[in-house]
Structures are given as C-alpha cells and as structure tokens.
Amino acid sequence: MGSDLETAVGRLRLRNPTILAAGILGLTGPSLLRVWNAGAGAVVSKSVSREPSEGYPGPTVVQTPSGLLNAMGLPNPGVEDILGEFREAKKGGATVIASVFGGDGEEFASVAREVEKAKVDAVELNLSCPHLETLSIIGHDPDLVGGVVERTKEEVKIPVWAKLPGNTHIQNLVEVAKAAEAAGADALTVSNTYPAMAIDLETGKTILGHGGGGLSGPAIKPISVRLVYEVYEAVRIPVIGSGGVVTSEDAVEYLMAGASAVQIGTGIMERGLGVFEEVCSGIRSFMKERGFGKISEIIGLSH
C-alpha cells in the first residue's frame, strides 16, 4: 500500500480511495474483512435498522443489457445482532463505516448511537428509504434530511455521512445536499441506485419480487458523475462518488468531478473482489504518467 493513494473524507483518513458500497457483502464480519483484505480503502456495511427484517421475496436481482436491478428490501439482522460483526471487522483492522436507516429521525439516531458502540469509524445514513408516515423517500425532502442528520449528529461523535438517493431532479438534489450540510453532515455519498423496473414478456409480470427496484452498474455512472459534479459545486463538505465504478478510469472521473473517494458495488459482479486492487493500481499508474503526487491534486480538477 503506497501512501500515494491516501485520501481523506473530512477527518477520516483512508489508505486508498476505493470503498466497498453499502449492501454489498456487508452483513458479516468475516465478509467485510475479506473485502478489506482484498484491498478496499474502507468497507461500508449492509444498511441496518433497529428491528430485524427479511427483505423482499425474490427475484431480488435481475440483469438487463443496461445495468443490474435490485430490490433486496434492506434485509438485516437488526442493529443489536450486527454489532458483533462490526467488532470482528474492526478487530481485523478494517476501516468500517456502518450504514444505518430508519423510518424517521429518531430511529436513524438511535441506530447510529448503537453502532458507535462497536467503534466503527463513521456512520452512513441511507436516506433512500421511505418515510414511515408518508412513504415518500426521505432523501427527496430537504427538511426531513436536515432533521435526520441533526438528530444523528446529536447522538454520535463519529463522522456522519449522508447518502443521497439517485435523484435526477438536480435542483432538489442540491437543496437536499445543502440541508444535510447545514445540519452538520460530515460528508455526502452521491448517490444510491435509480428507480427502475424489468418486466418479463412471457408472463407480463415484473421480474423483481417487489416490482420496482434500483438500477446500478456502468449504466448509471454518467448520471452519478453529473450529480457529484453539481453537489461538489454546492457544498464545502467532502463528496463520495457511487455508481458504476468498475475501472480506474471510472474512479478518476469521479475524483475529477469532485469526489474524495469512490464506492464500488456492482463492479464486484463484473471483476470479482480483485476490482479494488485493479482500480488502485490503475489510479497509481495514471498519477505516475500525469505527474500527480497525491489524490488531492485530482479531486475537483474539472471545475
């Protein structure tokens, strides 16, 4: 691990800018550790709530020629049961970010308070879930997002990252980003998957058990790069890019758009767990060729 790839998300230092995305191989300690040992700069856990949840019935994933759809339904064992997994990953030396969600600010804050006990390095708020009362997505409402971030900041000392939903209504996205910043968020992850659907022609039925799902993979990269670019212009806190990173070129593009680090999820399906080292060594060669000494010299270069 050359220190040349070191980056920082606020006060959290990362050994390199590739992070395992939330919900990918993040349910157990040994699994998080395996990804860490495969070279990720940090690992984000599965999103966890107060109570256990089974998630949606299958099919939970389906591939289309233009990306992967998933509707896992946020299955998780509940915060109490997952703390041991986080502790195990921390004991193995990993930089661990706990993804949390809830139906309202209270639940977000209380789950965040619990995960802090496991000495995780940061908490990421998954704002792409429906608000219990309205069933609209929390992450589209600047007031709700501000409230969730504020309540969480009151409860924990570790950095709080707010992960925004895939939202192409850029004006709204920017308002939400600013609200999160104003409420004290330490960083923003941009973004989650985009609403999508696939229908089987033989039966006329939606393939995903839940009906709708979220689109990920290379198809969404240009869209999320745009969102990162816009959010970077609008806020001063660090931005983390997520969506379709498979190669080092993808990662560098996000860095140039303004991301301090990138998350990788679906890329693992395409490249295996070697994707983290591949992307890192590609970034390293790129920096060498172009004479960049540090990651920070690339961040936001396109602005």
Partner 1 sequence: MENVGTESSSRVAHRPRVLRIKRIVEETPTIKSFYVNCPEVASVAHPGQFVMVWVIGTDEIPMSISGAGKDGELRITVERVGDATERLHALKVGDQIGIRGPYGNWFDLSGEKLLMVGGGDGVAPLAFGAEVASSQGKEITAILGAKTSSELLFRSRMEELSTVLKLTTEDGSAGVKGLATDLLEETLRERKFDSLLACGPEPMLKKVFDIAKPYRVPVQISLERMMKCAIGLCGSCCVGPYRVCTDGPIFMGEQLERVSEEFGVFKRDKCGRKVQVAATRS
Based on the residue annotation, tell me whether 280 is a catalytic residue of this protein: no
The total number of residues shown for the chain amounts to: 303
Q: How far is the CB of 216 from ligand FMN (least distance, A)?
A: 3
When asked if residue 49 is in the footprint of ligand FMN (CB under 6 A), the reply is no
One residue of 126, 167, 247, 248 binding ligand FMN per CB under 6 A: 126
Binding site for partner 1 (CB under 8 A): 23-28, 30-31, 33-34, 46, 52-55, 57-65, 68, 70, 72, 75-78, 81-82, 198, 200-203, 205, 207, 209, 265-266, 268-269, 272
Identity (one letter) of the amino acid at 93?
G
Interface characters, 177-206, with ligand FMN (x: CB under 6 A): ---------------xx-------------
Residue 47: cis peptide before it, omega within 30 degrees of 0? no
Residue of this chain nearest to ligand FMN (CB atom) = 23
200 binds, among partner 1, ligand FMN, none (CB under 5 to 8 A by kind): partner 1
58 binds, among partner 1, ligand FMN, none (CB under 5 to 8 A by kind): partner 1
When asked if residue 16 is in the footprint of ligand FMN (CB under 6 A), the reply is no
The beta strand positions in the chain, using DSSP E, are 7-9, 12-14, 18-20, 42-44, 61-64, 67-70, 96-100, 122-126, 160-164, 187-190, 194-196, 213-216, 239-242, 259-264
Residue 65: cis peptide before it, omega within 30 degrees of 0? no
When asked if residue 207 is in the footprint of ligand FMN (CB under 6 A), the reply is no
- The smaller minimum CB distance to partner 1, of residues 68 and 129, is found at 68
In DSSP terms, 188 is beta-bridged to 162, 239
Q: Please, which contacts does 169-174 make with residues 24 or more away whose CB atoms are closer than 8 Å?
A: 169/140, 170/226, 170/227, 170/230, 172/140, 172/142, 173/227, 173/230, 173/231, 174/230, 174/231, 174/234
- In terms of Cα–Cα distance, which of 241, 219, 215 is closest to 230? 241
Identity (one letter) of the amino acid at 212?
G
Kindly give the pairing relationship between strand 18-20 and strand 12-14: unpaired
The catalytically annotated residue of 33, 68, 120, 129 is 129
When asked if residue 21 is in the footprint of ligand FMN (CB under 6 A), the reply is yes
Write out the catalytic residue numbers.
129
Binding residues for ligand FMN, rule: CB under 6 A, are: 21-24, 46-47, 68, 70, 72, 74, 99, 126, 163, 192-193, 216-217, 220, 242-245, 264-267
